[in-house]
Structure 1
Amino acid sequence: MTIQLNHTIVRARDKRASAAFLATILGLEVGADFGRFVPVAVANGVTLDYMTATDPQPQHYAFLVDDDEFDAAFARIREQGLDYYAEPGGDGHGEINTRWGGRGVYFDDPDGHAMEILTRVP
């Protein structure tokens, strides 16, 4: 068997609201509750399982997308008036990056998790 990432738990103050936030930005669906989790599945079968927590610690989640998906997600980021930036930690506020011949952008979710969409990896 090859080793694959199956799921990760994303701690959030409001699991449903945070799952809906990400799903809306990425153009995905929020899955049915699964026990204490609210899943958001991505194309490679990995799920982000949102769980309510009183004090979530910010993490980083990066999503590889194609150019059309980037354009659609980036448009939703701007439509919602979200702050976005080109570099981790907030550098390049209001900009995207063009590393590795692609495009990338960071934005924060309601719990302070640094979300990233990018079109190319090295």
Structure 2
Amino acid sequence: MSVELNHTIVHARNNRESAEFLAEILDLEVGAEWGPFIPVSTSNGVTLDFASVPAGSIARQHYAFLVADDEFDAAYARIQRAGIAYYADPGLKHPGEINHHHGGRGLYFLDPAGHGMEILTRPYGSPTSNTPASETSAR
């Protein structure tokens, strides 16, 4: 059997709020609450299990989501409509901009718990091309 990431736990101040926030931006479904977790599954089968923890115990993490161009456009529109601050860089020094790394587009935003979320249309290290994200292999 090959090794695949199955799920990861995402600490949140409010697990429902954080799960619904990400699901809304990425047009994903929020799963049924399971114990202390609120799951959000991605199309490649990885589940983000949001768990409420005390705010002081949340260490900022980074989560990057590879999306197709049309999915980027839709997520970007939802981010703009909601008035969510977004940036071209992970250091949050270029507000209101997107980047064009690897021949694609990307942006960063924070979730309600302060985690850095990224959407990108080309994986890091991709040759500069117009190949859709769905036709490239993620690293």
Task: Identify the residue that residue 10 of structure 2 maps to in structure 1.
Answer: 10
Aligned residues: 122
Is 1:57 aligned to residue 73 of structure 2?
A: no
Bigger radius of gyration: 2
Map 1:1-122 → 2, pairs under 5 A: 1-55=1-55, 56-121=58-123, 122=125
Q: Which one-letter code corresponds to 1:18 in the other structure?
A: S
* TM-score computed with the length of structure 2 as normaliser: 0.86
Mark the runs of 5 or more structure 2 residues left unpaired by the alignment: 126-139
RMSD across aligned positions (CA):
0.6
Deviation at 1:34, TM superposition (A): 1.2
Mark the runs of 5 or more structure 1 residues left unpaired by the alignment: none
Deviation at 1:7, TM superposition (A): 0.4
Q: Percent identity?
A: 61
Deviation at 1:92, TM superposition (A): 1.2
Residues 62-92 of structure 1 deviation map (CA, whole Å, 9 limit, x = unaligned)? 0000000000000000000010000011021
Deviation at 1:97, TM superposition (A): 0.2
Deviation at 1:36, TM superposition (A): 1.1
Q: Which aligned runs of 4 or more in structure 1 are off by greater than 4 angstroms? A: none
